[in-house]
Amino acid sequence: MRRSNLKHRWISPAVVYNEEILALEEKLDLHPLVCQILSNRGFAAVEQVETFLNPSLDDLHDPFLLDGMEPAVERVAGALSEGERIVVYGDYDVDGITSISLMVRYLRQLGGNVGYYIPHRMIEGYGISKAGLDRVVELGASLVITVDCGISAVEAIEYARSKNLETIVTDHHEPAEGALPAAVAILNPKKPGDKYPEKELAGIGVAFKFCQGLSERLGVGQAQLNEHLDLVAIGSVADIVPLLGENRILASAGLERLGTSEKPGVRALISLAGIRNKKLGSSDIVFGLAPRINAVGRMGDAERGVRLFLTDDMDEARELAKVLDSENRSRRQVDVHTLEEAREAILRDINFDERWTIVLHSDNWHPGVLGIVASRIIEEHYRPTVLISFDENGDGKGSARSVANFHIHDALKRCGGCLDAFGGHKYAAGLQVRRERLDEFIEGFDRAAHEMMRESDLVPEISVDLEIDLTQANDELLTSLDRFRPYGPGNPRPVLVASDLSVVGYPKVVGTNHLKMRVRKDDYQLEVIGFGMADKLKEINTAREKISIAFVLEENLWNNNRQLQANLRDIKVSD
Q: pLDDT tens for residues 402-425? A: 998 899 999 999 998 999 988 888
Choose among 393, 450, 446: nearest CA to 418.
446
pLDDT of residue 240: 87
Per-residue pLDDT at 575 exceeds 60:
no
pLDDT given for residue 2 in this prediction: 42
Distance of CA 107 to the CA centre of its chain: 26
Q: Which of 306, 317, 321, 326 has its CA nearest to residue 262?
A: 317
- Give mean pLDDT, residues 359-373: 93
User: Average pLDDT in the 35-63 region?
Assistant: 92
Beta-strand relationship, 428-434 and 358-362: unpaired
Q: What average pLDDT does the segment 245-259 reach?
A: 97
Say what the pLDDT of residue 449 is.
96
Identify the CA nearest to 106 among candidates 62, 76, 63, 66.
76
Considering the four listed CATH numbers 3.40.50.300, 2.115.10.20, 2.160.20.10, 2.40.50.460, the one that applies to the domain covering 463-575 is: 2.40.50.460
pLDDT tens column, 298-332: 877 899 999 999 999 999 999 999 999 999 999 99
Q: How confident is the model at residue 352 (pLDDT cuts 50, 70, 90)?
A: very high
Alpha-carbon span 322 to 170, nearest angstrom: 31
Which residue from 127, 212, 224, 143 is spatially nearest to 176, judged by alpha carbons? Answer: 127
Give the containing element (helix H, strand E) for 74: helix 69-82
pLDDT confidence bin for 177, thresholds 50/70/90 = confident
Whether the pLDDT of residue 219 is over 60: the answer is yes
Band (pLDDT 50/70/90 cuts) for residue 122 is low
Residue 4 in this model has a pLDDT that exceeds 50: no
Query: Between 537 and 480, whose confidence is greater?
Result: 480
What is the share, in percent, of the chain residues with pLDDT greater than 90? 77
Q: Kindly tell me if the per-residue pLDDT of 544 is higher than 80.
A: no
Q: Which helix (H) or strand (E) holds 187?
A: strand 185-187
Phi, psi (rounded to 5 degrees) for 83: 70, 25
Share the mean pLDDT of the chain.
92
Helix axes 130-138, 154-162, angle to 10 degrees: 30
Mean pLDDT computed over 197-224: 96
Provide Rg for the chain, Cα atoms. 25
Q: What pLDDT does 1 receive? A: 38
Tell me the one-letter amino acid at 233. Answer: A
**Beta strand pairing call for 113-117 and 85-90:** parallel
Q: How confident is the model at residue 15 (pLDDT cuts 50, 70, 90)?
A: low
Has residue 197 got a pLDDT over 50?
yes
Pairing assessment for the beta strands 496-510 and 85-90 based on DSSP bridges = unpaired
CA angle, residues 73, 78, 79, in degrees to nearest 5: 100
Which one has a higher pLDDT value, 554 or 562? 554
Over pLDDT 70: what percentage of the chain?
97
Q: Which of 65-74, 152-161, 191-200, 534-543 has the lowest mean pLDDT?
A: 534-543
Q: Kindly give, in sequence order, each residue whose CB lies less than 8 Å from that of residue 356, ignoring residues fewer than 6 positions away.
A: 383, 384, 446, 449, 450, 453, 455, 458
Model-level pTM?
Answer: 0.89
Q: For residue 213, what pLDDT is reported?
A: 98
Helices (H), 176-287: 203-218, 223-226, 229-238, 245-259, 264-272, 282-284
In whole angstroms, what is the distance from residue 114 CA to residue 80 CA?
A: 9
Choose which CATH entry (3.20.20.140, 3.40.50.720, 3.10.310.30, 3.40.50.300) describes domain 350-458: 3.10.310.30
**61-326 CATH fold:** inorganic pyrophosphatase (n-terminal core) (3.90.1640)
- CA-to-CA distance for 90 and 99, rounded, in angstroms? 7
8 Å CB contact between 235 and 203: yes
Say if residue 5's pLDDT is above 70: no
